[in-house]
Amino acid sequence: MTPTPLAAGFAVPALAIAGLAAAAIPVLVHLLLRRRRRPIEWAAMDLLRKALERRRRQLRLERLLLLAIRMAALALLGAALARPYFGEAGRGGESRTIWIVLDDGISTRVAVDADGTAFDRLVEETVAWLERGSVGDEIGVVLAAGTPRVLVEPTADRRRVAERLRSHAPTLAGTDLDAGLALVASRLAEIPSIEPIVLVASEFRRGSLGRSTDESGSGSSGLAAIEDLQRLALPPAETPIDNVQVVSIRPGRAPAGGGPASVAVELARQGSLGSASTRISLSGPRLATAVERDVRWREGDRTASVELLVPVPQLAEGEDPNLLLEISVPPDDQAADDRRFGLLDARRRIRVGIVSDGRDSREWLTRALAPSAETPIEMVPIEAALVDETSLRSLDVVVVARPDLVPASGWSDLGAMIDRGGMVMAAPPADGGGLAWLDRLAEIVPDRTWSFGAGVLEIADGPGSRIDPSTPHRAWLDMIAAEFEELAVPVSMARRLDVGSGIAESEIVMRSLDGAPLVLASTAPGGGSLALFAFALDLEWSDLPVRPLMVPLVQELLREGLVRSRIRNVGTVGDEESAGLAAAAAVEAPDGRRLSVREGRLERAIEETGRHEILDAAGGRLGALVANIEASSSATDPSDRGAIASRLEEAGVWSFTDDLDRDGVAAAGESGDARLSMWMIAGVIGLLLVETVLSRRFSRVTGGGETEVAAPAFLAAYGVDEGGRRASETSS
| Better-scored residue on pLDDT, 20 or 675 | 20
- What does 621-677 look like in DSSP terms, one character per residue? EEEEEEEE--GGGG--PBPPHHHHHHHHGGGS-EEEGGGS-GGGTSSS-HHHHHHHH
> What does pLDDT average to over the chain?
81
Where in the chain are the domains?
A: 6-81+685-731, 88-233+640-667, 243-347, 350-567, 573-628
In the CATH hierarchy, which fold is given to the domain comprising 243-347? Immunoglobulin-like (2.60.40)
H helix or E strand, kind and range, residue 689? helix 670-698
The rounded distance, in Å, linking the Cα atoms of 536 and 388 is 23
Kind and range of the H or E run holding 177 = helix 177-190
CB atoms within 10 A of CB 62: 17
In this predicted model, what pLDDT tens digit does every residue of 537-564 receive, in sequence order?
889 999 999 999 999 999 889 888 887 7
| Fold exhibited by the domain 573-628 | Immunoglobulin-like (2.60.40)
The percent of residues above 90 in pLDDT, for the chain, comes to 32
| pLDDT tens readout for residues 643-684 | 787 777 766 678 888 765 444 444 334 445 566 778 888 888
- Between the alpha carbon of residue 622 and those of residues 40, 91, 239, 314, the distances in Å are 96, 58, 47, 22
> Under CATH, which number does the domain 350-567 receive?
3.40.50.880
pLDDT computed for residue 713 by the predictor: 47
Summarize the confidence of residues 303-324 as an average pLDDT: 86
Rounded Cα gap, residues 204 and 206, in angstroms: 6
Mean pLDDT computed over 550-579: 81
Report the candidate in 417, 530, 528 with the shortest Cα–Cα distance to residue 520: 530
Task: Find out whether 422 and 397 touch, Cβ atoms under 8 Å.
Answer: yes
Query: What per-residue confidence (pLDDT) applies to 293?
Result: 94
SS3 content of the chain, % helix, strand, coil (to 5): 35, 25, 40
Residue 238 has pLDDT above 70, yes or no: yes
Q: Which amino acid appears at position 624 of this protein?
A: A
pLDDT in tens, 159-177: 999 999 999 999 999 999 8
Segment 364-415, tens digit of pLDDT: 778 888 887 777 788 888 988 889 988 888 888 999 988 989 999 999 999 9
CATH 3.40.50.410 for the 88-233+640-667 domain, yes or no: yes
Q: Which of 16, 19, 21, 28 is nearest to 67 (CA)?
A: 28
Global pTM reads: 0.66
Quote the radius of gyration of the chain (alpha carbons, Å). Answer: 40
Total residues found in the chain within this entry: 732
| Alpha helical stretches, state H, 350-422 | 360-369, 389-392, 408-419
Q: What is the pLDDT of residues 200-234, one digit of tens each?
A: 999 999 998 865 544 444 444 677 777 778 888 99
Check residue 714 and give its pLDDT. 46
- Please tell me if the domain spanning 88-233+640-667 has the same topology as the one spanning 243-347: no
